[in-house]
Amino acid sequence: MAFLLIASFFITSIIFNYINFVNCWLSDVYVPFFIADKLYYVRTNTIFYIDLVGVSLDNNTIVYASNWVNINVSKLNIDYLPKDSFLGGKANDKIFFVSNHSKELRLHAFDATLKKLEANISYQGVLNAYYNFDEINWISDEQTSKSYIYDTYVGGDANLTIFDSNNLAWINGTSNPQNLLQGILGSSQIIVSYHSFVQVLSASDKIFYIGGRISGSSFTIQFMPMKNILIYDIVSDSWLINNATGNEIEGRTGHTAVMTTDKRIIVYGGLNKLRPALPYLAVLDTSNIPYEWSAPTEENSIGPITEHSSIMIKNYMITAFGRNLSERDDAKYDIKDVYKLNISNPLSYKWSLLATPNNQSNSVDNNSSIFDSINTKTDGVSVFNQTP
């Protein structure tokens, strides 16, 4: 019985992974960080930043190619930098990378203040679970310098795992939401896998998991209902599901979410099967229970996008790159620009352009790659190996 249960789970995982591939989830999405007025973007073996020093988000200033600065990763002299990185360190100015690409768990960090890479950093603890560090999402608490993984890409019953970047130590969690996920699928006799979600951290030390897909070993594969909000309480080390009310929001993958200071979760974009998930913009009000979904109108909408990145900076959600699903033209399908969404008024959401890799004279061909467009500046990086 146990063998059949495990075997059916892995068969489901193969099917599930294929569906994720079809939905373009396995692409190389940029991960954003905001450090000392610089907006960093990281993906596999790539780091660059947009210099926002002296730039006010409240006016119509557009940041052009001269402020896009490439970090020359080819000179970092390490084997591999995965895209799924996280912010940490005592000053929250280090971007950490965990790689098992060489069949050995390695930890690296890019120090954004010193502009240096610390390679092969020693750490404490041993992971109890195996993770594919190319396909996971981290969430970081800047108050405690702890970063969290809940990932069921390999094993459906994996526990939450924590990395303490102050003490450079792994902490193996003891809890997971299997019983709650089984309840959504309606069976307690299956191993449930949940991934392709996005996550946000609230000021009350709760991690919200939004969207994604859920599957069981009985070959049931479906979108996680957007009305079912999975939550991890950091303080009590416990899980719960809050059933939201309000507008009907389609399930999705390839979307983003950010948390505002007034407890709104702003969700944008994504795919529902092979079409744009509707509505493009959805807002979850978590200030009261039950939580409530709404679908506000957008001014100057940037359209249906997926595989993009989003980050909150002051009263703006900064959204960049990805793919525009409404475009047939290859030149416009891949998004090169960075946009900002003013979220200061809960009744009005307005998009505008923040940055473009074009020169101010528009002499740069927008069909070129990001790095073809930002070759006006390159930062030198020092490399320090902490262990042989």
With cut-offs at 50, 70 and 90, classify the pLDDT of residue 209. Answer: very high
Q: Which long-range contacts (CB under 8 A, 24 or more apart) does 102-106 make?
A: 106/78, 106/79
For the chain, what are the domain ranges? 2-360
- The pLDDT tens digits of the residues spanning 26-56 come to 357 899 999 999 999 999 888 999 999 999 9
How many CA atoms within 13 Å lie on the side-chain side of 154?
A: 12
Residue 20 and residue 8: Cα distance in Å, rounded?
18
CATH number assigned to the domain covering 2-360: 2.120.10.80
Residue 53 buriedness (CB in 10 A; 0-12 / 13-18 / 19+) = exposed
| DSSP H helix total and E strand total for the chain | 4, 35
Looking at residue 373, what is its pLDDT?
41
pLDDT tens profile 367-385: 344 445 444 455 655 444 4
Task: Give per-residue pLDDT as tens, 297-333.
Answer: 999 999 999 999 999 999 999 999 999 999 877 766 7
Phi, psi of 177 (to 5 degrees): -95, 30
